[in-house]
Amino acid sequence: YIYRRNKYMAQQRSLLREFAVRKDKELYENKISFFTNIVHEIRTPLSLITLPLDDLIKKHKNESEPNEDLQKLRLIRKNALRLSDLCSQLINVRSFEESLLQLNFMQTDIKEIVESILEDFEPSIKEKKLSVDLEAPDKLVASVDTEAFTKICTNLIGNAVKYGKSTLVVELSVTEDLF
């Protein structure tokens, strides 16, 4: 009798643990869904703010004297774009989480990807007067999911450009069969 009761109790505890894990996962998914929906709802008014704001900035640019209103409009636009970027990052996190199980690894020249991303950021790099130092072998091939790797590097380089002061150093190297 004691053996059957202990076995039954162990089975019940196991079922409770499985139930708790399933509920935790469900709760997590609901939270993520909720926040993703909110982020989508925030993006719409942000775009409705930036479009007329751009028109106002264009009108004030034509004025010959420096204008305090133009500076304020640019500050508003900068912060609206920052909020929009943050929304995009939150949505990208959700997309990345959903695609984690669907990674497609292939041999890729990662230096080529990084060079392409740096080219995309070239206007911002010039505007901030940053110097760029890419330290990498002539060709660096690794098994990566190209899309995921590109998103990660774009985010890292974007942050480096945004917050960098003078020099942006990107170093790619091989260490113990890793890059």
**What pTM was computed for the model?**
0.49
Q: At residue 104, what are phi and psi to the nearest 5 degrees?
A: -120, 90
Beta strand spans in 36-179 (E): 105-109, 131-135, 141-145, 167-171
Query: Do β-strands 167-171 and 131-135 pair in parallel, antiparallel, or remain unpaired?
Result: parallel
Q: What is the DSSP string of 30-48?
A: HHHHHHHHHHHHHHHHHHH
**pLDDT by position in tens, the chain (length 179):** 888 999 999 999 999 999 999 999 899 888 888 888 888 888 878 888 888 898 888 888 877 776 788 888 988 888 888 888 888 877 777 666 666 556 788 999 999 999 999 988 888 898 889 999 999 998 899 999 888 898 889 889 988 988 888 999 999 988 766 54
| Cα–Cα dist 56/10, whole Å | 69
φ/ψ bin of 174: left (φ > 0), alpha (ψ from -120 to 50), beta (otherwise): beta
